A and B are shown apart, each in its own frame.
Chain A
Amino acid sequence: MAYLAGRMLVSVEAGAPNNGRSADTTARVKYATVRGRRHPYVSAQAVRRWIRDGMVRQGVPASPVTRVGKAQQRAQKANTDADPITYPDDDLFGYMRAGAKKDDDATTLRDSPFMLGTLLSVTPAHPTEDFGVMARGVSEPVLHGHEFYSADLAAPFLLDLPRIGTFTLPNAHGVGRPNYLSQEAALQVARAAALGAGAESFRGQDSVRLPVAERRRRAALLLESIAHLHGGAKQALHYGDRVPHVIVLVPFHGGVNPLTHVITGDEEGLRIRGDVLRGELEAWAGEWEAPVRIGWRPGFRDDLRERFEKECAAEIADRTVVIGHPRTILLELAAEMRDGTTLDHWFEDPVREPVREPVR
């Protein structure tokens, strides 16, 4: 097993969690135009920021603040570069390190093992423009309008578990450069050696890898952070809960995410489709591992839930599909990962047997 694929739904009620550039005195929410209609969205990088900040709030040490000025000439490099070996957030979310043109430094980056799509509204929604006036103790009132909306936003995500704490090294042809660490640089980091990092081959490339205990801890931190998710703009005016209202998690052997149409929308509004989930699981038989974990917040769209549970009744009865509160589902999965007795095989690529199609 190697990938944790998922889809999350965040229901926004009268909120403006992510805004674009303002027009005149009015702050505009971000929206995409799909088939000529407006779908509000929260950009992927905004949600990644919420999750990242959530990890910091859980006490994961973020890169320390070092003030750099003329007095210091130069900062301590170990604290200032993105350091995925020391900091779980740099490891999970990746970064870009831009070299100066004049120094001919290569631009290097870490490709994020945690991939999250845009939280896009499943149905068109028309933002409301709220007219705001600041008139306390001023003779000329200041106008400050803003838009807000109510919508169900859904995003796919994919966690490449074996790549957590794994840093590929460039070979002679430059393949695998994205992780920028040279073997010396990687192993020289005293902490990496102290953590017991070793050199090994990863998907055909040389790599340096942290021990599995640290890697499973980092994966668990990420899930725990999603279970505590909150953040975004306009918290004071439009406070809203951002813990996913519905989340679907399926571990896959390969880097696919076939859950796109499980949470979707049509003219009727939001759809959460058990028949689609069953169809995908059947089509990908042998490529995923039970149970399918579904988090569904109590009281959120009971009508859809009843229908979903009816459609998946057989799977729920034999525990192929497990439904619980999103927080419980995420925290239990994180605890199971940390425990290391049952899920350690998720952190290695599956043994590759040629996959043969059923002949149609």
Chain B
Amino acid sequence: MTEPLSAWRVVFYAPVASFRDPLFPGLTRGLPVPPPSTVRGLLAAATGEPSESLAFGMAAWSEGGGTDDETYHPISASGLNPSVAGRVRPGKGGMTIRSRPFLTGVHLTVWLPGPDGARIADALRRPRWPLRLGRSQDLVHVGERTRVTLNPAEEAAVGSALAPLSGHDVPSATVHRLAASVSTDRMASRWTDYLWCDIPAGRHPVRGAYEDATCRAHPGAEKGQALWLLEP
């Protein structure tokens, strides 16, 4: 944590994306940022590996949002309510309408350090599986990939980076409990609390952070973006 680190910075943009909070069963509460596990899935889709376990840094924000009404046609395994051309009759366990919050103009910046980071940045040139941020309809645009040097920092622009609880003391930051990683059989999630600012915070003292001097992850932020390497 004292040495400068070489990394690839990759920016992603999704015109529309939504991240459901799985801690609210039966409700669709939307998260304001993609969880790290979602980003891990995006990276694994690029490399084609079952999972990617490198520690990476991320910052994310969105331009706006809305709430969609969606018709669900779940197919019951019992076969009592068959699907006909993709439609299922309404009723218990059948066709139903749910509201689904979504974000528009989602901007995501990811820092991928070390040789693993170089391998993933390389794979993003020709992803093995389709790249999506959120659900299968949330196609993501891969922006520029830049080689950067990350310096350990005492003070940096917190911006819209995801930070561990011990990362900084910005009063406007809110805590979000997000999945850090999901096991490959999807049976177990590792939950972690993260700090995130919906309005980019300026320069503050930071702990355990690196600084990317050439980057502002949000147009309203200052240069010298702070980032924390998030473990799976």
Contact = CB atoms under 8 A, between A and B. Distances in A.
Q: Do A and B come from one complex?
A: yes
B122 A357 contact: yes
A52 B83 CA distance: 13
B105 interface: yes
Given A95-B75, A99-B77, A177-B185, A75 B127 contact: no
Contacts of B105: 34-35
A136 B206 CA distance: 70
B131 A175 contact: no
Contacts of A117: 15-16, 137-139
A75 B78 CA distance: 9
Interface string B131-158: 1100011111110010100000000000
A21 B129 CA distance: 36
Interface in B65-95: 65-86, 93
Contact of A116 (B50, B93, B122, B137): B137
Contacts of A257: 131, 139-141
A36 interface: yes
* Chain A binding surface, main DSSP class: loop
B142 A258 contact: yes
B214 to A, nearest CB: 14
Interface residues of B, number: 58
Contacts of B82: 63, 65-66, 68, 75, 79-81
B15 A260 contact: yes
A101 to B, nearest CB: 10
Name the interface size band of chain A. 35 or more
B142 A98 contact: no
A31 B128 CA distance: 34
B139 A156 contact: yes
Nearest to B131: A255
A59 interface: no
B86 to A, nearest CB: 6
Contact of B85 (A80, A89, A105): A89
25 contacts: A30-B66, A33-B65, A33-B104, A48-B137, A52-B85, A63-B83, A81-B79, A82-B83, A89-B86, A95-B83, A97-B75, A105-B77, A118-B137, A120-B15, A173-B185, A177-B185, A255-B45, A256-B131, A256-B142, A258-B141, A258-B142, A287-B125, A349-B128, A350-B126, A357-B122
Interface of B: 13, 15-16, 45-46, 48, 50, 63-86, 93, 102, 104-105, 122, 124-132, 136-142, 145, 147, 184-187
